[in-house]
Structure 1
């Protein structure tokens, strides 16, 4: 099984890249974000690889980070999501955007990916809501937990009020939730909504 490729870019297509590793060209299928992050032909490239072996073919899928590859694997645990749809999601949303969408149960954000309809997007955010922290560090897990509470409507009143206030000021919902998560860490669980708003605005201005 191939888990990683390190070589030079030999060719970039619409949905794939050929990486030359010591004279051997490996074709890796990639999402749009990964392809756009690669340099031009002849430049160095590192891809994390997911290898699919079937009776009639061997296919490599390439990702810029291990986190992207982890999401690719996780997405395919959702009913109706295969490699093509998973790659489309990874190619459209960053791992942070995808984590926010799942935490906030924002199916509209996931549905931005080509080929992902409302029903599939709804299943993705619903079925992955308790699994995402496996790909995060301690701080990200804490933030994800708070965003999930907000998305499920079980966050405390001061937290919900703070997020709502920031949203009314024009901040995106996931951005507001992330800032409030930082505010809660600084101000404590018992902080008032006014305190959380002040600390959140401070975090957003950094």
Structure 2
């Protein structure tokens, strides 16, 4: 079973990339978020891989970081959400955005993805809200200005500007994004005696209120305010 690929980017398509590993080209399907972070043709990159084996095919799905991979696995457990729809959802919402959407039960945000209607969005929220609260997303990775230019070079993103858009590739380093702070805030409320599900919902609402000020202290304070309301 293939869990990770590292090689030379040979071709980037609309929903996939071909990575040359020692002369063998692997076709890897990925979200637009992940594809946008890859270096241009000839650059070296690495992706975390989910392998799906069927009777008539073997498909490889690539992810920028462990958070995106975990969300893909979780989303595909929902009836009506296959690999293609899961990638479409991950193309329009980052792992952190998904966490917020489920915490706030924001089905409108989920419906931004092609293939996701109100019925499926409601099912995703209903089935995954509690499960998402238990995800250990960890840090994502962000690009460092070394090596070959990325596919988004024209936007001149710096490592700080790309925070949260990370990818596990050569010339990349881990950074902590909002998702980690949200998870820490949920854990803090659970340690205070609140249920994980209610803590998750409270932190989701707190994140919306906090805006750009999503520090751990702020999220805990606003979360406690929500829980005591």
Normalised to the residue count of structure 1, the TM-score between the two structures is: 0.73
| 2:28 aligned partner | 28
| 1:135 aligned partner | 136
User: 2 CA distance for matches of 1:15 and 1:37?
Assistant: 13
Structure with larger Rg: 1
User: 2 CA distance for matches of 1:175 and 1:182?
Assistant: 11
Gaps of 5+ in 1: 164-171, 194-206
User: 1 CA distance for matches of 2:66 and 2:107?
Assistant: 24
Query: 1:173 Cα deviation (Å)?
Result: 2.9
User: 1 CA distance for matches of 2:60 and 2:24?
Assistant: 14
User: 2 CA distance for matches of 1:46 and 1:27?
Assistant: 13
User: 1 CA distance for matches of 2:185 and 2:18?
Assistant: 38
- SS where residue 108 of structure 1 aligns? helix
Higher relative contact order (Cα pairs below 8 Å, separated by 6+ residues) = 2
Query: 1:178 Cα deviation (Å)?
Result: 7.4
Kept in 1: contact 2:71–2:95 (CA 8 A): yes
1:182 to 195, 212, 217: 217
- Residue deviations 1:32-89, cap 9 Å, x none? 1111111100001111111111111111111111111110000011121111111111
Assess, with a 3 A threshold, how the Cα gap between structure 1 residues 17 and 120 changes in structure 2: closer, same or farther. same
Assess, with a 3 A threshold, how the Cα gap between structure 1 residues 117 and 174 changes in structure 2: closer, same or farther. farther
User: 1 CA distance for matches of 2:209 and 2:50?
Assistant: 29
| 1:99 aligned partner | 99
Assess, with a 3 A threshold, how the Cα gap between structure 1 residues 173 and 184 changes in structure 2: closer, same or farther. closer
User: 2 CA distance for matches of 1:118 and 1:96?
Assistant: 21
* Structure (1/2) with the larger helix percentage: 1
Gaps of 5+ in 2: 139-179, 190-195
User: 2 CA distance for matches of 1:128 and 1:33?
Assistant: 22
User: 1 CA distance for matches of 2:116 and 2:225?
Assistant: 40
User: 1 CA distance for matches of 2:113 and 2:209?
Assistant: 18
